[in-house]
Structure 1
Amino acid sequence: RDPQAWQYRDGAFIASATSSLARDFHVRGSASLEFDLAWTGSFEMILVLYTDVLDRLDYNASSYLVFLGSGFVNVQRVQSGFGVLQLGQSALPELLKKNHAHFELRALKDQSTLELRVDGGPVYRWKDARGLLTQGPGIVFFPQLDNSSGRLSLSDLRVCSWDGPTESEATTNPPPAGDWVRLVNHDQLTGTLRGVHDGKLTVVTAQTQLDIPLSRVTQILLDNAPTNRPPTSPRQTRAFFAGGTILSLQLEQWEGQQVSGQSDIFGHLALRSQPIRRLQFNLDRSAPDDAPPAASAKDEGAWDE
């Protein structure tokens, strides 16, 4: 509520005082929330999910409260007229040794479950036996800063409806050979990904070629081919994204917040420029010995001590 407590600078919201940052995201039902957080000293922040009240922390309005702090997470259900129900608390020892982390939080309505993952580590899961409350469309970030030296930075915020697999279903290890695809009905395919055209994914399996509507695809893992394979064109550019994704394409246009180009795998692409952390040109040339090292996406958003 303090207009000076939050400032937007260099792609991040920076909090220097205790005050809320909120928005109506128009998300009801199952949803996914991801963000990067950097802090100085110890920290505590309250996440208010599925709320109708955006200007304050209101225990009379239905919502979920996720208390994040240095070394712990606590989850509570708040229901109007019924008070507060404790869903559980877990230790997050990995946060005691860091000053920045990536958080993934998912609300799965059909399973009445909240899931949290920190920096791609173990999944923490809480079950609401009364059913998931998803009435309010708003999300509130409420940092608890107790001195003038404390700061907290929030960046790379992504909110969307979620109809993909739970973390127990998902995988990060593809088969030893071939590209791997999971469908919404939990079927799995292994083969060679030929490309994406006209809203369809083309996969060649040992038996046949399949053209699968993207609406039926929940997860794609590419074969463990070398990342720095030779470019297919001298005009090819390599883009490095937040989170570690790397994409090679022929860059055609960069206008405002949109980048367009041609990918050997995905065909013509139009991408948002904000998640791009670095571009590498002249891929057919060797890097000079005195070239500076690549910046780590994990280091962005943290402050020098």
Structure 2
Amino acid sequence: MTAPAVAPGSGLRAPTADRAPRPHKPGQRRFGPLAVASVVVLIVLAVLWLLPFLWSLSTSFKSEADAAATPQTWLPAGGFTLDAYRAVLEQGNIPTWLFNSLFTSVVITVIVVATSALVAYAFSRLDFAGKRWLYIATIASIIVPPQVLIVPLFYQMLAFNMVDTYWGIILPQAIAPAMVFVLKKFFDQVPIELEDAARVDGAGRVRVFFTILLPLSRPILGAVSIFVFIGAWNNFLWPFIVTNDASLLTLPVGLQTIKSAYGIQYAQNMAAAILAALPLILVFLFFQRQIIKGISTTGFGGQ
């Protein structure tokens, strides 16, 4: 049935059918008030999180006089300078400390990921005597403060003649019960039917682990690797205790040995902190996708 015609000049509108809402395109995003507010809050939190780092970066490029002046300003009166970085690089053996930190952190990461994955697979898929109590002991060890173990670990390294060696730095950090817990929770989510199908084809436990479970676990393995690497890189207390040889110092420990006879040097301290954090910033920039994916799909996100 068509709408009745309206004479021109009558001042009346012709009746029109109700317009249907425009279909939502797949690639089109709709930003409501809640989404905009969420973005604003996230931007504010990001700026607040970045402020201390930006202040450290600004201070590291100041002269010592500008860094100690009051009141403090973002832009120094004397301009920015590289004197603090030159002093830190001249007073310390940065390349050797950087190599030591990189070598020990990589080895610790490889050992922790390999052993934690194997232990987590055993807890998730195998049945053996004492499994429940052993798993409880593993979880309970997470709450033990590392500082409590420093004295017995040092005497153990002393008995094994590993003080002032790379292995003395590496081995006490090569156990991570928290990573076992996270990997087990992820393995529990993998459908067991995939392994059953592989066993029907004649695959054994080892082959199932390496050809099925590990490829499916790449996001969580990447996240665990990055978190372990960051923890090993930032560890100051244990390398400081177990090493006396200057050629074995890690970067966090080595930078703390740079002292000045003129009291606290704020610019140099900030420059040393930036140098120590720079490799971790690069790791995060290159692997942030793996970190976010691992957190969103595994136990790191509380799932």
Q: Say which structure is richer in strand.
A: 1
Q: Say which structure is richer in helix.
A: 2
Asked whether the two chains share a fold, i.e. TM above 0.5, the reply is no
Whose relative contact order is higher, 1 or 2, with alpha carbons under 8 Å and at least 6 apart? 2
Q: Which has the larger radius of gyration?
A: 2
With structure 1 as the length reference, what TM-score do the two structures score? 0.21
